[in-house]
Chain A
């Protein structure tokens, strides 16, 4: 939160309290503002929150522990497909949300450990390739495991996933407050996802300022020196990897339930790269960076669709670059230019790994 506060331009440094409230108000009011532009924008915000969870999870792996994971979306897929298997008409299993969510998280975490065990002894760049390969293998299986036994339903994906049901309260239904006032389901999802993101931030912040967070940072900065002060780098890498995967799994479950269907094309390499770009763009290793990066880049394609297309039409008379191409172009340029010009990211807040204020308190005693 503090990182996020100090990232608020101008106000953040002068009046942190005001900046804090500003963020809270913005977070709460965002869907209402979006509603002014149409319901689809609220939906986009919901997806932006999911991307934030993914970026937070990947940031844990890449930014904190310094492990480049290019197959991160595979864990998202594991979460989403777990939900699809256990809460949809596909196998006609409908387990409650609170059972499936931990299972999805656990499966993704286990996938992380299984992948991590063999490869974590490797140097960073090998790891990148192996994780990329892993992501592709998962996708190949999703695409082809509809024969001879239909498990994943192949490229068509699985439809009709159950919605999120919080102890009998179905988020997919508009909440009828009074006779003629109801809260749209998209809003319900927004606030639920927001709560998940806030929970994740608290979670990760606590990890960051702890012996584990410091050990990760140490390992990232200098692995040899980290070993020389007694850090068990293999275990800590595994931990980072599986924690990141768990986040991916949780986000995947939420995604599946929210969207109502899953198919392999949601989990392409491009998505892994997009999440990585969010982390890189915002600033590797700091929470605020992941949040801002995810928000900016999740909104990008929609903004492009709404702005770039009409703009091109007025300028050139026709659409030269369709939004999807433009998005890829901007993502790849963002990655290259960020690394060249501003490697610390948009929000180069230095992440803190200690509470030095503890000192002043005890010194004052």
Chain B
């Protein structure tokens, strides 16, 4: 198995709160990797540090064999990491299609001059962007809403659109922050199919999720965070039996380190 992402001793502190402590983990190419833990365990912080929204206090990420620049989101996306947000963050006044097209920004090149003169290259690139975006909408199953302004989409469709937008950046690693939150059973089942499809098409998936059933049914491996520390990392079946994990979730034991 080839390693895609390696986090080495990542730490992040907010004032007096140690949100992440020495978190190290390895994600292999082609797997679905789950990141779980009780509320406030540092999962989203981990995503934020990984994608450059926050600068870590210590540690580093190695992606595809070389270190990721910290705190430079656009460079990180350029290297092939895309994410979605726990509370959906779409470009509300843009249509579904335009949202996905915006997602393609980093893979396009047209410059000011080309745009103002509308030269052949720019027109061709624009046409391709439009087509790809439409394909992407089809891929997640919402192409009939291509022209709908995104704030008017249903909740489930917004989630799908956000995934489509992230995929439009052509990532190798897709980081999903609680994609099933607020979904009903049918929608969750459809989401599961979609994620499996994404994995099948060669994108590695990292997943924060509360829906234990979804995580256990979907992930190849799962890491558990508690109070900013990794307390377990294993295949789902093993993690479920892990004592420290059970304690963390039930709140029974003391701070399990």
Contact = CB atoms under 8 A, between A and B. Distances in A.
B212 interface: no
A350 B149 contact: yes
A239 B106 CA distance: 16
Interface of B is mostly: helix
Interface in A191-238: 203, 206-207, 209-212, 214-215, 217-218, 221-222, 224-233
A362 B74 contact: no
A228 B91 contact: no
Contacts of A228: 51, 53, 73, 77, 82-83, 85, 89, 166
Contact of B94 (A203, A227, A353): A353
Contacts of A227: 52-53, 73-74
A212 B52 contact: no
Contact of B130 (A229, A351, A355): A355
Residue from A227, A229, A351 whose CB has the most chain B CB atoms within 10 Å: A229
Contacts of A362: 127, 131
B106 A230 contact: yes
The range of chain B's interface size is 35 or more
A9 B112 CA distance: 34
Interface stretch (B115-123, B213-221, B237-245): B115-123
Contact of B105 (A203, A224, A229, A354): A229
Given A211-B110, A217-B93, A225-B89, A231 B130 contact: no
Contact of B129 (A207, A211, A225, A230): A211
B106 A212 contact: no
A212 to B, nearest CB: 6
Contact of A221 (B85, B92, B146): B92
Interface of A is mostly: helix
A350 B130 contact: no
B102 A215 contact: yes
B130 A359 contact: yes
Contacts of B169: 229-230
Contact of B101 (A203, A206, A214): A214
A314 interface: no
Contacts of B106: 229-231
B102 A218 contact: yes
Nearest to B83: A228
B108 interface: yes
A1 to B, nearest CB: 15
A353 B95 CA distance: 9
B131 A359 contact: yes
B159 interface: no
Contacts of A359: 130-131, 134, 146
B103 interface: yes
A118 interface: no
A147 to B, nearest CB: 41
Contact of A230 (B53, B74, B92): B74
Contacts of B118: 206
A128 B51 CA distance: 29
Contacts, number: 128
Nearest to A358: B130
Contacts of A210: 110, 115, 122, 126
The range of chain A's interface size is 20 to 34
B98 interface: yes
Given A229-B166, A353-B98, A359-B134, A222 B92 contact: yes
Given A222-B89, A225-B89, A228-B85, A212 B166 contact: no
A148 interface: no
Residue from B74, B146, B147 whose CB has the most chain A CB atoms within 10 Å: B74
A17 B92 CA distance: 31
Contacts of B85: 224-225, 228
A221 B93 contact: yes
Given A206-B115, A224-B89, 20 more contacts: A206-B118, A207-B116, A210-B115, A211-B115, A214-B105, A217-B91, A217-B102, A222-B89, A222-B91, A225-B85, A226-B102, A228-B53, A228-B166, A229-B105, A229-B106, A231-B106, A350-B149, A354-B98, A356-B130, A359-B131
Interface of B: 51-53, 73-74, 76-78, 82-83, 85, 89-95, 97-99, 101-106, 108, 110, 112, 115-116, 118, 122, 125-127, 129-131, 133-134, 146-147, 149, 165-166, 168-169
Interface of A: 203, 206-207, 209-212, 214-215, 217-218, 221-222, 224-233, 239, 285, 350-351, 353-356, 358-359, 362
9 contacts: A210-B110, A210-B115, A212-B115, A214-B102, A221-B91, A221-B92, A221-B94, A222-B90, A230-B106
